[in-house]
Amino acid sequence: MPVKIYSNEFSVSTRGETEIIDITGRVESCVHKSGVTTGHVLVFSPGSTIGITTVEYEPGLKKDLQEAFEKLAPRRASYHHHKTWNDGNGYAHVRASLLGQDRVFPVKEGKLYHGTWQQIIFIDFDNRARTRSVTVQVVGE
């Protein structure tokens, strides 16, 4: 059976400041459109101040995650990056580096395979509003 490769891209508008956005439904839609029944889906966003991961997407956990990032890479700390670019977002780069800009998930029986309480989230750590792109690539049979 030949391997299928399906790619799609969508935009995410954010306020920045560690905003957390659930993109699970959009990824599931791409998997459905791909026609792949067994394989993998890559979710990737180009940018050095964003992150992609999974979490139970509920208000308390969203706050917990934002507070954890503030402890790990405080916004008001001094960063060498500030001396280079003077843009005040060194913390955003550090946070994004800890999380990463991509994730791979299985496709099983034509559906994105994930846990009941596991949603794919996009986090914009930057210090300003942005429109970001997310690429979804589905590969399989």
Give the pLDDT of residue 74: 98
Q: How far is CA 107 from the centre of its chain?
A: 18
What string of pLDDT tens digits covers the 141 residues of the chain?
Answer: 789 999 999 999 999 999 999 999 999 999 999 999 999 999 999 999 999 999 999 999 999 999 999 999 999 999 999 999 999 999 999 999 999 999 999 999 999 999 999 999 999 999 999 999 999 999 999
* Closest CA relative to residue 121, chosen from 31, 48, 40, 26: 26
Does this model's pTM top 0.75? My answer is: yes
Phi/psi at 35 (5° precision): 80, 0
Contact of 137 with 33, CB cutoff 8 Å = no
Give the pLDDT of residue 45: 98
Give the pLDDT of residue 2: 87
**The CATH homologous superfamily of the domain defined by 4-140:** YjbQ-like (2.60.120.460)
- Stated length of the chain: 141
